[in-house]
Amino acid sequence: MTITENQMLKNDYYELSDDELEVLFIIDTDPIMRTRLQKISLLYSKIFDTEKESHGAYFFGGYSDNIDEASDELVDKGIIQETNQGYVITDYGIKLKKMLIEGLEDSDDLITGIANIKKSVSELDDKSIIGLTYHFFEETTTNSTIKASVDRYNKRSIYDGKSLDQISLDEFINKLKKGTVIHRGG
């Protein structure tokens, strides 16, 4: 018996896990590499999901196995696809996302929170995002093999005219919560 697309949408609407929802709301029509996905997810968890220690200190900084598995699940379900440029949402995924945005209640943090974080870092390249997570969430970098390199990179990094030492964690988090675009340089 063939399942119609509407039936599939309904199934996925109800069956997506929290991690899968998180990944779905991070990924869009512009490709996003795995690292960037992980770091945005890390920022989301540090701001909105502080009770859940979702990201461990791995060889390349903060990383979540759950987010990785969720991404693979979404690829298997045809909701996102992985290309050489990174993950991108499929047409089916777009329809599902629209259904979810209309239907999810009490999910401001998930939908709006992620949207604001993405907007905030939209002008930054992957290296800058990595640098910021290493600076502000050092506990996730204890096992990193690139920590020294990232620290050197951070020492000469300027964001909105300030060095990282001049930006407090609260200031950084507020920008992410409000969706204030962060610029590298002056």
CB of 29 to another protein, least distance (A): 18
Nearer to another protein, 127 or 178 (CB): 127
**Tokens of residue 58, six digits:** 């791995």
Indicate the residue type of 138.
Answer: E
The residue within the footprint of another protein, chosen from 29, 52, 142, 152 (CB under 8 A), is: 152
Q: Ramachandran region of residue 158, left (φ > 0), alpha (ψ -120 to 50) or beta?
A: beta
- Please tell me the distance from the alpha carbon of residue 133 to that of residue 91, in angstroms, as a whole number: 31
Q: Write down the least CB distance from residue 95 to another protein, Å.
A: 27
Binding mask 43-72 for another protein (x = CB under 8 A): -----------------x------------
3-state helix, strand, coil in the chain (%, to 5): 60, 10, 30
Work out which of 17, 122, 149, 180 binds another protein, going by CB under 8 A.
Answer: 149
Q: Residue 153 interacts with another protein (CB under 8 A)?
A: yes
For residue 186, what are its two tokens? 């002056």
Contacts (CB under 8 A) with another protein, residues 128-147: 130, 145-146
Q: Which of 16, 67, 150, 167 binds another protein (CB under 8 A)?
A: 150
Closest separation in Å from C-beta 85 to another protein: 7
* Residues lying near another protein in the complex (CB under 8 A): 35, 60, 84-85, 126-127, 130, 145-146, 148-150, 152-153
